[in-house]
Amino acid sequence: MRNKKKILITGSSGFIGASLCKRLLMESDASIIGIDNMNDYYSVALKRSRLSELEGLKKDFTFIQGDISDKSFINKLFQENDFDIVVNLAAQAGVRYSIDHPDVYISSNIIGFYNLLEAIRNHPVSHFIYASSSSVYGNSDSVPFSTKDRTDQPVSLYAATKKSDELLAYTYSHLYHIPMTGLRFFTVYGPAGRPDMAYFSFTEKLLKGEKIRIFNYGKCQRDFTYIDDIVEGILRIMEKGPLREYSLYNIGNSHPENLLEFVSTLSETLIENQLLPADYDIQEYLELVEMQLGDVVATYADTSALQNDYGFHPDTPLKEGLERFVRWYKENYREL
C-alpha cells in the first residue's frame, strides 16, 4: 500500500488476522491497530506467540485487547481513531463448537459485527472488509460454489451467523453508501494455523500414536486454501479498493480434496519430515465414522469473480502447503 493508511484489523492474534498484519507490516508503511479478545477457544499461548512476532517487527503496530461485542469499547476506538480501512476477522469460528456453544457465536459474530457496522456508520471508512465463510453454501450440490448461488439454507449456527453478517453488511452499505466487501474463505490452513482444524488436530493425534476419526466414512471433500493465498487475496482487495458498494467473493483453491487422500498426503509429509517412522501405515490409524451434525459434504470454490476483479486466484498445491505447515509444526509448535 503506497499511501500511509490507518487500518483496523480485528482478530489480529488469530490465524488469518496475524498473517495479514505480518504481511502488511512487512510490505507497507500502514499504521495498524490490531484488536483481539484473546479468548481461550484454542491455545492462548499460540495467540500470544503470533502477537509477539508482530510486536517484534517494530513497525507501526498497536495492539489493544478488547471485545467487539463490547459496544463502548468499539465506540471509543472509533472516536479516537480515524480509520481508512477496517478488516473484521474477529469471530467465533468452528462449525462443530457452535452446536454446544451457541451464545458466543451470537455475541461475537452478530452483536460484535453489528457494533462494528454502527461504529462505521458514525465514522465512515473507505472500505469495510469482513470474513464470511464457505459454510454459507450449506449442502449445496451445485459445484463449484458461486457467489451467485442461493445461500439461504445454512446447516450450522456458525454458517447462519456468517450469512447474517453478509445481509447486515449489504443493508449498511446500501443505506449509508459505505463500501463493504465480504470474503467467503474456504478451509484455510498453514503455519501457525488453528489447532481446532482437522489438518492440525490430525497431526497432533497421529504424532501421539492415536487414531483419527474421519467423518462421513471419508466421503467428504474440502477445498483447502493455503494461508498465503488468503492473505494475497485480502491485500489485493485492500490495495485496489472496492469496485462497487457491496461485493462478495469466494477465496478458495478451486481444487477440492477427498478427505482420505488428504490424510494420506498429510501422513506422507509427516514421514518425510521424520515425525513419523518410515514404515508408518496410516490405514491402521483411521476410524471411519458417520457424518457430524452441522458439517457439509463438500466445499469447492468458484473464484472467477475474484480473478476478474482483482486478477488473482489461490493456487498453492496442498502438498506444498502441508509441507510448510509440517515444517513449522516441527520447529515451533511443541513449545506452545
Ligand X SMILES: NC(=O)c1ccc[n+]([C@@H]2O[C@H](COP(=O)([O-])OP(=O)(O)OC[C@H]3O[C@@H](n4cnc5c(N)ncnc54)[C@H](O)[C@@H]3O)[C@@H](O)[C@H]2O)c1
Residue whose beta carbon is closest to ligand X? 14
Residues 106 and 101: their CA atoms lie apart, in Å, by 10
Considering the complex, what minimum distance in angstroms separates the CB of residue 40 from ligand X? 9
CA dihedral (260, 264, 265, 270) positive or negative: positive
> Binding mask 188-227 vs ligand X (x if CB under 6 A, - otherwise)?
x-----x---------------------------------
Query: In 10 A of CB 245, how many CB atoms?
Result: 14
Q: What is the CA radius of gyration of the chain?
A: 19
Secondary structure of residue 188 in the 3-state scheme: strand
Which residues contact residue 60 at a Cβ distance below 8 angstroms, ignoring those fewer than 6 apart? 25, 29, 30, 31, 32
The strand order across the sheet containing 31-36 reads: 61-65, 31-36, 6-10, 85-88, 127-133, 180-185, 246-251
Provide, for the chain, the percentages of residues in helix, strand and coil under a 3-state DSSP scheme, each rounded to the nearest 5.
45, 15, 35
Q: Among this protein's residues, is 199 annotated catalytic?
A: no
Considering the complex, what minimum distance in angstroms separates the CB of residue 274 from ligand X? 28
**Exactly one of 31, 51, 54, 112 binds ligand X (CB under 6 A); which one?**
112
Q: Which is nearer to ligand X, 116 or 282 (CB)?
A: 116
Residues 259 and 291: their CA atoms lie apart, in Å, by 13
Number of residues that bind ligand X (CB under 6 A): 29
Query: In 10 A of CB 261, how many CB atoms?
Result: 12
* Marked catalytic residue, from 42, 97, 158, 329: 158
Q: Given the rule CB under 6 A, which of 61-69, 141-149, 252-260, 293-301 is the region that contacts ligand X?
A: 61-69
Give the three cell numbers for residue 180: 463493504
Residue 47 makes contact with ligand X by CB under 6 A: yes
> Binding mask 133-172 vs ligand X (x if CB under 6 A, - otherwise)?
x---------------------------------------
Q: 28 near 103, Cβ under 8 Å?
A: no
Q: Which is nearer to ligand X, 110 or 125 (CB)?
A: 110
Residues 32 and 29: their CA atoms lie apart, in Å, by 9
> Binding mask 114-133 vs ligand X (x if CB under 6 A, - otherwise)?
-----------------x-x
Binding residues among 7-46 for ligand X as defined by CB under 6 A: 10-11, 13-17, 35-39
Return the H-helix or E-strand segment holding 98: helix 97-100
**Exactly one of 28, 140, 164, 187 binds ligand X (CB under 6 A); which one?**
187
Q: Given the rule CB under 6 A, which of 168-176, 182-190, 267-275, 301-309 is the region that contacts ligand X?
A: 182-190
Q: Given the rule CB under 6 A, which of 23-31, 183-191, 260-268, 306-314 is the region that contacts ligand X?
A: 183-191
Residue 185 makes contact with ligand X by CB under 6 A: yes
Lookup result for grid cell 461504529: 119
Lookup result for grid cell 502438498: 319
Amino acid at 57: L
Binding residues among 79-108 for ligand X as defined by CB under 6 A: 89-93, 108
Q: Which is nearer to ligand X, 265 or 276 (CB)?
A: 265
Residues that bind ligand X (CB under 6 A): 10-11, 13-17, 35-39, 47, 67-69, 89-93, 108, 112, 131, 133, 185, 187-188, 194
